[in-house]
Amino acid sequence: MEARRGRPVTVTHRNELPVPTVVHLHGGRTPAESDGYPTDLVLPAAWPKTASHSTDGMPGTGHMADPRAVATALTRDYIFPNDQRPTLLWYHDHRMDFTAPAIWRGLAGLYIVRDDAEEALGLPAGPREVPLMIADGAFAADGTLAYPSLDPTLRHRSGVTEPYLAGVLGDVILVNGAPWPVHEVDTARHRLRLLNGSNARHYELEAVCEDGRRLELVQIGADQGLLAAPVTHRTLPMAPAERYDVVVDFTDVPVGTLVRVRNRLGTGRTRDVLAFRIARRATTDDSRVPSALATDLPTWSRQEAVRVRDFAFRAGRMDDDRHGWLVGGRAFDPARVDVTVGLGDVEVWRLIADVHHPIHLHLVGFRVLSRGGRPPLPHDAGLKDTVSLRPGESAEIITRFDGYRGRYLFHCHNAEHEDMAMMANFEVV
Task: Report the pLDDT value the prediction gives residue 322, as an integer from 0 to 100.
Answer: 84
Task: Report the pLDDT value the prediction gives residue 114, as an integer from 0 to 100.
Answer: 98
The CATH class of 2-117 is mainly beta
Burial zone of 393 (CB within 10 Å; 0-12 exposed, 13-18 middle, 19+ buried) = middle
Task: Report the pLDDT value the prediction gives residue 174, as an integer from 0 to 100.
Answer: 98
Task: Report the pLDDT value the prediction gives residue 64, as an integer from 0 to 100.
Answer: 58
Task: Report the pLDDT value the prediction gives residue 63, as an integer from 0 to 100.
Answer: 42
- Distance, C-alpha 247 to centroid of its chain: 20
CB 240, CB 215: distance < 8 Å: no
CATH of domain 302-428: 2.60.40.420
Look at residue 64 and give its three-state secondary structure: coil
CATH of domain 126-280: 2.60.40.420
The one-digit pLDDT tens for each residue of the chain (429 residues) are 999 999 999 999 999 999 999 999 999 999 999 999 999 999 998 887 655 444 443 333 334 589 999 999 999 999 999 999 999 999 999 999 999 999 999 999 999 999 999 999 999 999 999 999 999 999 999 999 999 999 999 998 999 999 999 999 999 999 999 999 999 999 999 999 999 999 999 999 999 999 999 999 999 999 999 999 999 999 999 999 999 999 999 999 999 999 999 999 999 999 999 999 999 999 999 999 999 999 999 999 999 999 999 999 999 988 777 889 999 999 999 999 999 999 999 999 999 999 999 999 999 999 999 999 999 999 999 999 999 999 999 999 999 999 999 999 999 999 999 999 999 999 999
Residue count of the chain, please give it.
Answer: 429
Q: How far is CA 127 from CA 130, 194, 221, 275, 357, in A?
A: 7, 15, 19, 16, 35
CA–CA separation, 367 and 36 (whole Å): 24
Q: How far is CA 363 from CA 28, 250, 407, in A?
A: 6, 37, 10
Task: Report the pLDDT value the prediction gives residue 320, as an integer from 0 to 100.
Answer: 79
Task: Report the pLDDT value the prediction gives residue 49, as an integer from 0 to 100.
Answer: 62
Instruction: Enumerate the domain spans of the chain.
Output: 2-117, 126-280, 302-428
CB 411, CB 390: distance < 8 Å: no
**Model-wide pTM > 0.85:** yes
